[in-house]
Amino acid sequence: MKGERKSINLGLIGCGTVGSGVYRILRDNAEAISLRTGCDIKVRRVAVRDLSDPRYVDVPEGELTTDALQVIHDPEVDIVVEVIGGVEPARTFILESISRGKHVVSANKELLSTHGGEILRAAEEAGVDVAYEASVGGAIPILLPLKYSLAGNAVDSILGIVNGTTNYVLTRMSEEGLSFSEALSKAQERGYAEADPSADVEGKDAAAKLAILASMAFNSRVTLDDVYTEGIAGITPDDIRFGRDLGYVIKLLAVAKDDPDGISVRVHPTMIPVDHPLAAVRDENNAIFVSGDAAGELMFYGKGAGSLPAASAVVGDIITIARNLLSGGRMAGCTCFYRKPVKDMADVICRYFMLFDAPDRPGVLARIAGVFGDNGVSIKSVIQHGTGSEARIVLVTHAVPERSIRSTVRGLEELGAVNRIASVIRVEDRDGEGCREG
């Protein structure tokens, strides 16, 4: 094959937001892409749901089909590009492509975070490449750097802002003082949130991306089900205001850590210091903060979604595979050599921010502090805001296991001296005493 090729042929499955972007990039930047790759890259066939659907890009009628298997079974197709999303039928299409000896590029976080192991094993057996840079962080190059540039490192932790919708909502809450629902409406108006925003708001989207990142960074398969997930619907302007007073910004963080006794993977609202590089990641932007034993702290920032940004990542994968087709090389396949346990959230050690309503009466603070002490939770700082029946207590703990916080919350509820526990938010500091794994 080496040196003989004039072109590499693609079969595109899906021509929606991402697929049309791929088509446009390959058309508009064809000359430079051809020079960089060493041959032309051509879209040969495009499978769509309905031929009469409106499309974001003009595709010649002869390239279109409603039968994905026609694309996959076309002997001239070298690389199948799956951009329909969701587990099925994407899984079946990809496995069928692999079994036909096709290389695969996918942008599918739902699939890779649930069936990544199965797909990479099949690819290994068939001797083909599967690349999926676009499944995490849109345009941001993160999987290639993790797998190649940082391959000399033991990666200790990953902190990601990997969902643009929730970052936009939290940024607007923080900068304009909006409530969650006001900010969400604004995100919907601007096109940063879907009509049904639940997958974003509840953290499911971020959890899928985290499973993919953690699997690659820690060389151990992590699936979506392993990820502890909390959304941002409960975050209030008070949380943001009191957090800011303490020097924190609230972000929906996807956190993965690799400790000697296991991996922890979790997505939840998190207070981070205002001078943390992730704190400056505003609006719909994404960023992934990686800590390696040799490289130290790195951050990768950019557009996490959108037609061309996601397509940029897909086309990067296509070019990488195309170069291998020409040189005879291969991408590194599955690198999950270890089987590291995933820890229970109750065992994770963290600092906690807590906000509660408690009447300002003599002895109340002492009784509250007693509950913390009984549960082994050391208090770092406590501030009372307001007086009388309006009094509110803002408290930050030292690092303690999550189970101790849970029992403390139960103890406070039983105590009766606390009217309402408004918020419990994890805190991630940079001094080593943020969230650690116990």
- Judged by the rule CB under 8 A, the positions of this chain that interact with a second copy are 21, 25-26, 29, 32-33, 35-37, 133, 139-141, 144-145, 148-154, 219, 275, 277, 280-282, 287, 292-303, 306, 308-309, 311-313, 315-316, 318-320, 323-324, 327-330, 332, 335, 337
Pick the closer one to a second copy by CB: 260 or 337. Answer: 337
CB of 135 to a second copy, least distance (A): 13
Pick the closer one to a second copy by CB: 82 or 402. Answer: 82
Q: How far apart are CA 330 and CA 347, in angstroms?
A: 40
* DSSP label at residue 343: P
Pick the closer one to a second copy by CB: 33 or 111. Answer: 33
Pick the closer one to a second copy by CB: 227 or 287. Answer: 287
CB of 149 to a second copy, least distance (A): 3
CB of 355 to a second copy, least distance (A): 28
CB of 277 to a second copy, least distance (A): 6
Residues with Cβ < 8 Å from 362, sequence gap 6 or more? none
Q: How far apart are CA 394 and CA 383, in angstroms?
A: 5
Instruction: Identify the sign of the CA torsion 289, 123, 313, 186.
Output: negative
Residues with Cβ < 8 Å from 400, sequence gap 6 or more? 349, 350, 351, 352, 376, 377, 378
For this structure, is 251 an active site residue?
no
Q: Which two tokens stand for residue 11?
A: 């079969």
CB of 3 to a second copy, least distance (A): 12
CB of 177 to a second copy, least distance (A): 18
CB of 78 to a second copy, least distance (A): 16
Give the number of residues written for the chain. Answer: 438
Pick the closer one to a second copy by CB: 297 or 360. Answer: 297
Q: How far apart are CA 366 and CA 60, in angstroms?
A: 75
Q: How far apart are CA 418 and CA 311, in angstroms?
A: 51
Q: How far apart are CA 64 and CA 223, in angstroms?
A: 34
Residues with Cβ < 8 Å from 173, sequence gap 6 or more? 179, 180, 183, 235, 237, 240
φ and ψ at residue 93, rounded to 5 degrees: -60, -45
Residues 398-437 as b/e (b if ≥16 CB within 10 A, e otherwise) read ebbbbbbbebbbebbeeeebbeebbbbbbbbbeeeebbbb
* Tokens 């034993």 sit on residue: 293
Pairing verdict, β 348-357 and 392-397: antiparallel
CB of 153 to a second copy, least distance (A): 6
Q: Which two tokens stand for residue 104?
A: 């695969």
3-state SS track over 69-105 = HHHHHCCCCCEEEECCCCCCCHHHHHHHHHHCCCEEE
Pick the closer one to a second copy by CB: 32 or 366. Answer: 32
Q: How far apart are CA 365 and CA 147, in angstroms?
A: 51
Q: Which two tokens stand for residue 316?
A: 């990067």
The residues pairing with 297 across neighbouring beta strands, listed in sequence order, are 291
* DSSP label at residue 219: T
Of 109, 204, 209, 257, which is the active-site residue? 209
3-state SS track over 250-261 = EEEEEEEEEECC
Pick the closer one to a second copy by CB: 297 or 347. Answer: 297
Pick the closer one to a second copy by CB: 64 or 295. Answer: 295
Catalytic residues: 209
